[in-house]
Structure 1
Amino acid sequence: MLVIRFPYDPAHNERLRQASGGRARWSQHLRAFIVPVTAVADPAIRSGLAGFAAEQRLTADPAARGQLSLTGVVLRADMLPTGVWGSNLRGILSRDQWAGLRIPVAEAAGGVCEICGKPSVNDEGRKVRPDCHERWSFDMRPGSVLLAVQTLTGLIALCKVCHLVQHLGFAEVQGRVAEVIEQLRAVNGWTYAEARVDLDRARREFDYRSAFSWDLDLTVLRGRIAVPTAPDLYVAAGRRAQLGNSFQPRPTVRAALRPVGQPAPV
Structure 2
Amino acid sequence: MAVERIWLDVPFAEKNAAKAGGARWDGTARRWYAPRAGMADLERWTPGADIPELLPGEDRSLGGGLFVDLVPSSCWFTNVRSCVAQKDWDRLRRTIYDRAGNRCEACGAGQDREAKRWLEAHERWTYDDATQVQTLKRLICLCTDCHTVTHFGFAQIRGLAPQARAHLMKVTRMTGAQADLHIASAFDLWQARSRIAWTLDLSMLTAVGITLAPPPDAAARADVARRTLADEAGAGPSSGLPRQSGVSARAEAARRSG
Q: Decide: shared fold, TM above 0.5.
A: yes
CA distance in 2, matches of 1:93, 1:237: 18
- Which residue number corresponds to residue 151 of structure 1? 135
CA RMSD of superposed structures (Å):
3.2
Q: Deviations over 1:6-36 (max 9, x none)?
A: xxxxxxxxxxxxxxxxxxxxxx98568xxxx
State whether structure 2 residue 107 is matched by structure 1 residue 107: no
Q: What 5-or-longer segments of structure 1 have no aligned partner? A: 1-27, 33-60, 68-72, 142-146, 242-246, 248-266
Given that residues 216 and 236 in structure 1 are in contact (C-alpha distance below 8 angstroms), is that contact kept between their aligned partners in structure 2? no
CA distance in 1, matches of 2:60, 2:138: 12
Q: Deviations over 1:153-194 (max 9, x none)?
A: 111110001101111111111121122222221222211110
Given that residues 30 and 108 in structure 1 are in contact (C-alpha distance below 8 angstroms), is that contact kept between their aligned partners in structure 2? no
Q: What 5-or-longer segments of structure 2 have no aligned partner? A: 1-49, 223-227, 229-258
Fraction of identical pairs, as percent: 32
Higher RCO structure (Cα 8 Å, ≥6 apart): 2
- Equivalent pairs, count: 173
Q: Which of 77, 90, 100 is the aligned partner of 2:68?
A: 77
CA distance in 2, matches of 1:150, 1:66: 14
Distance 1:64 1:110, change over 3 A: closer
- Which residue number corresponds to residue 237 of structure 1? 218
Structure having the higher strand fraction is 1
- Which residue number corresponds to residue 26 of structure 2? none
CA distance in 1, matches of 2:199, 2:163: 32
Q: Which of 82, 95, 98 is the aligned partner of 1:91?
A: 82
- Which residue number corresponds to residue 128 of structure 2? 139
CA distance in 1, matches of 2:107, 2:67: 12
CA distance in 1, matches of 2:152, 2:62: 24
CA distance in 2, matches of 1:150, 1:205: 14
Dislocated runs of 4+, deviation >4 Å: 28-32, 64-67, 238-241
Give the secondary structure class of the aligned counterpart of 1:118.
Answer: coil
Give the secondary structure class of the aligned counterpart of 1:134.
Answer: strand
- Which residue number corresponds to residue 151 of structure 2? 167
Give the secondary structure class of the aligned counterpart of 2:170.
Answer: helix
Please say which structure displays the higher CA radius of gyration. Answer: 2
Distance 1:31 1:157, change over 3 A: closer
Q: TM-score, normalised by structure 2?
A: 0.58
Q: TM-score, normalised by structure 1?
A: 0.56
- Which residue number corresponds to residue 177 of structure 1? 161
- Which residue number corresponds to residue 45 of structure 1? none
Distance 1:62 1:119, change over 3 A: closer
Alignment of 1:40-79 (within 5 A): 63=59, 74-79=65-70
Q: What is the identity, as a one-letter code, of the residue corresponding to 2:172? A: N
Given that residues 121 and 160 in structure 1 are in contact (C-alpha distance below 8 angstroms), is that contact kept between their aligned partners in structure 2? no
